[in-house]
């Protein structure tokens, strides 16, 4: 685990305001239990706000070696359990990409998981590629979309060579990256001059986050950073990118999938989740709702 007093990736300040106390009861247990949709434990490290720029972050955080080990071995079997809802969400994201980049070309999905989004992007006419840390997910992504060139490596190790992409997507990725500023600098180099970057991240200024406070469902050990439109825009500028647009993100899920996640929450909500899971047919009931995330679009900043 990295020590406290973390340097802010936007302004480098180390002075932070405490927001929420940590909730990990047994820090010595396997950290993998806290990661992905298949998590068996729920908790987070202490969460603070940078006094310099306002970025919210976990401090301390799991170190880079721990994160690489966890993500490489991750098998998130719950991820595809709700495949129809994830396919509909992926089609909505493809439509968002198309609205800002109508001309189809090369698309790179960073953190492509089991390939649901790259499959839908390929069907929409994109030349698709992806990167993924989990060997388990890479195998499934390649089987689901053989037309996609899926690299078995984390973002930090990916090298596209001379290829430049017309669209790069980071769906639910940036909040997991130890060095987000450096990651965005690398990604900026992979974009075509008129390319677009698409992201989804937790929005700490969302109504959901502000209403739920310390009970916000996105306060998780695996989330290292909690953005707002302002702090995300500042981080993008540091990397030579410009925030073009953002909007609240709604997630799609079956009612059964929602209850699977509710069952991991503290009582009495966990009991409600377990009770609901005993009812049949809930995997066919779709719901769409906010959990405090945003979709954002960025482009390379004009050279001065």
Geometric angle at alpha carbon 207, from 83 and 242, rounded to 5°: 80
Residues 6+ apart with CB under 8 A from 302: 242
Residues 6+ apart with CB under 8 A from 96: 198, 295, 297
Q: Please give the Cα distance from 293 to 196 (Å, whole number).
A: 20
Per-10-residue mean pLDDT for the chain, 304 residues long?
A: 80 97 89 94 96 97 96 91 87 97 97 98 98 98 98 95 97 98 97 98 98 96 98 98 97 62 55 51 65 98 72
Please report which helix (H) or strand (E) contains residue 129, including its range.
Answer: strand 127-132
Q: Please give the Cα distance from 19 to 21 (Å, whole number).
A: 7
Task: State the pLDDT at residue 273.
Answer: 45
| Burial bucket for residue 138 (CB in 10 Å: 0-12, 13-18, 19+) | buried
Q: What pTM, to 2 d.p., does this model score?
A: 0.89
Task: State the pLDDT at residue 279.
Answer: 53
Please report which helix (H) or strand (E) contains residue 207, including its range.
Answer: helix 207-212
| Paired strand residues for 297 | 198, 245
- CATH architecture assignment, domain 82-300: 3-Layer(aba) Sandwich (3.40)
Task: State the pLDDT at residue 172.
Answer: 97
- Any idea how long the chain is? 304
Residue ranges covered by each domain of the chain: 82-300
């Amino acid at each position: 685990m990295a020590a406290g007093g973390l340097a802010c990736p936007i302004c480098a300040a180390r002075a932070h305001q405490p927001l929420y106390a940590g909730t990990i009861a047994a820090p010595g247990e396997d950290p993998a239990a806290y990661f992905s949709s298949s998590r068996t434990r729920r908790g987070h490290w202490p969460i603070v706000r940078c006094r310099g720029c306002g970025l919210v972050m976990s401090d301390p955080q799991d170190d880079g070696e721990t994160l690489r080990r966890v993500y490489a071995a991750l098998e998130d079997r719950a991820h595809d359990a709700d495949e129809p809802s994830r396919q509909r969400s992926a089609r909505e994201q493809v439509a968002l990409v198309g609205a800002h980049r109508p001309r189809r070309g090369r698309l790179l999905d960073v953190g492509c998981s089991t390939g649901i989004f790259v499959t839908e992007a390929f069907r929409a006419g994109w030349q698709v590629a992806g990167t993924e840390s989990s060997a388990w997910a890479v195998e499934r992504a390649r089987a689901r979309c053989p037309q996609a060139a899926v690299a078995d490596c984390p973002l930090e190790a990916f090298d596209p060579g001379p290829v430049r992409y017309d669209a790069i997507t980071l769906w639910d990725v940036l909040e997991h990256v130890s060095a987000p500023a450096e990651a965005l600098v690398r990604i900026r180099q992979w974009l075509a001059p008129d390319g677009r970057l698409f992201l989804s991240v937790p929005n700490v200024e969302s109504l959901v986050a502000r209403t739920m406070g310390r009970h916000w469902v996105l306060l998780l050990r695996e989330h290292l950073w909690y953005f707002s439109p302002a702090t995300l825009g500042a981080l993008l500028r540091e990397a030579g990118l410009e925030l073009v647009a953002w909007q609240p993100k709604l997630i799609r899920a079956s009612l059964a999938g929602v209850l699977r996640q509710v069952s991991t929450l503290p009582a009495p909500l966990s009991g409600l989740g377990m009770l609901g899971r005993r009812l049949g047919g809930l995997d066919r009931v779709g719901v769409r709702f906010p959990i405090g995330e945003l979709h954002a679009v960025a482009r390379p900043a004009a050279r001065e």
